[in-house]
Amino acid sequence: MTTSSASLRVNATEITLVRGDITRQEVDAIVNAANSGLMGGGGVDGAIHRAGGPAILEECKGIREQQGKCPSGEAVITGGGKLKARFVVHAVGPIWRGGSGNEDETLASAYRRSLTIASESGAKTLAFPSISTGAYGFPVDRAAKIAVDTAHRFCLESTSLSEIRFVLFDEHTYNCFKSALERVRNPA
C-alpha cells in the first residue's frame, strides 16, 4: 500500500489524510461507520469489532438496551477493547438514496456528533474512515467535501482536538479527500 499523506493546520488542530487501516491507528479514538442497530456488520464495522474483540459489542448491547437504536446522523461511544485507541465512536451515516433525503445534512451531522462526543470524552486525537461511502453508497467526492468541511468548521469553533485524521482505505477515496482538503486550503 502506498503511504500517501497530506495535512492542513486549522487553529489548534492538524487535519491529516492517510491511506491505511483504521484499526491500526494510534489515536485516542477511532470512528466506526456503524448502522443503527449497533450490533456490528461488514466493512469497517466488521474490521473494528474483529480487531477490538467482544468487549465492544457487549458495550454496544448495553447502549441498545438503554437508549434503543442509534438514528442516522447520531453517534455513541464505547471503549476500544483490544485496539490501540481508547475509544470507538460508532457513527451512523445515511444510506444514499439519490440525494433528496437529507443525506448531505445527515452525513455532516454524523461527523459533527462524532467530533463533539470524542472531544467531550477527553480525546485529543481522532481518526475517521470515510463514513457512508462503502455499503451505504454515498458518492465519495461529495462525501469527502462534507467530511473535510465539517472537520474544518469544528476546528474553527473548538480547540479541543490536536489531530483529526481521515484514514482512507483506497486510492480513489484518498484522492477525493485530498481534493476536498485543497479546496479548503485554497478556496476558489
Catalytic residue positions, numbered: 45
130 vs 160, which CB is nearer to ligand AR6?
130
Q: Quick one: which of 22, 29, 70, 107 contacts ligand AR6 (CB under 6 A)?
A: 22
Q: Quick one: which of 6, 47, 55, 184 contacts ligand AR6 (CB under 6 A)?
A: 47
Of the candidates 37, 103, 25, 44, the residue with the CA atom closest to the CA atom of residue 64: 37
At residue 60, the 3 state secondary structure works out as helix
At residue 167, the 3 state secondary structure works out as strand
Q: Do 31 and 114 form a contact (C-beta atoms < 8 A)?
A: yes
Range in contact with ligand AR6 (rule: CB under 6 A) among 16-24, 78-86, 152-160, 178-186 = 16-24
Q: Which three cell numbers stand for residue 136?
A: 451505504
The bridge status of strand 29-34 relative to strand 5-10 is unpaired
Region 122-151 residues binding ligand AR6, contact defined as CB under 6 A: 129-136
Minimum CB distance to ligand AR6, residue 11 (Å)? 26
Range in contact with ligand AR6 (rule: CB under 6 A) among 1-9, 34-42, 53-61, 64-72 = 34-42
Minimum CB distance to ligand AR6, residue 98 (Å)? 16
Q: Which residues pair with 129 in a beta bridge?
A: none
The residue whose grid cell reads 484522492 is: 175
Range in contact with ligand AR6 (rule: CB under 6 A) among 19-27, 71-79, 153-161, 177-185 = 19-27
φ, ψ of residue 8 in degrees (nearest 5):
-145, 125
At residue 164, the 3 state secondary structure works out as strand
- How many residues touch ligand AR6 under the rule CB under 6 A: the total is 25
Q: Which three cell numbers stand for residue 33?
A: 461507520
173 binds ligand AR6 (CB under 6 A): yes
**Contacting positions for ligand AR6 (CB under 6 A):** 21-23, 33-35, 41-45, 47, 93, 129-136, 167, 169-170, 173
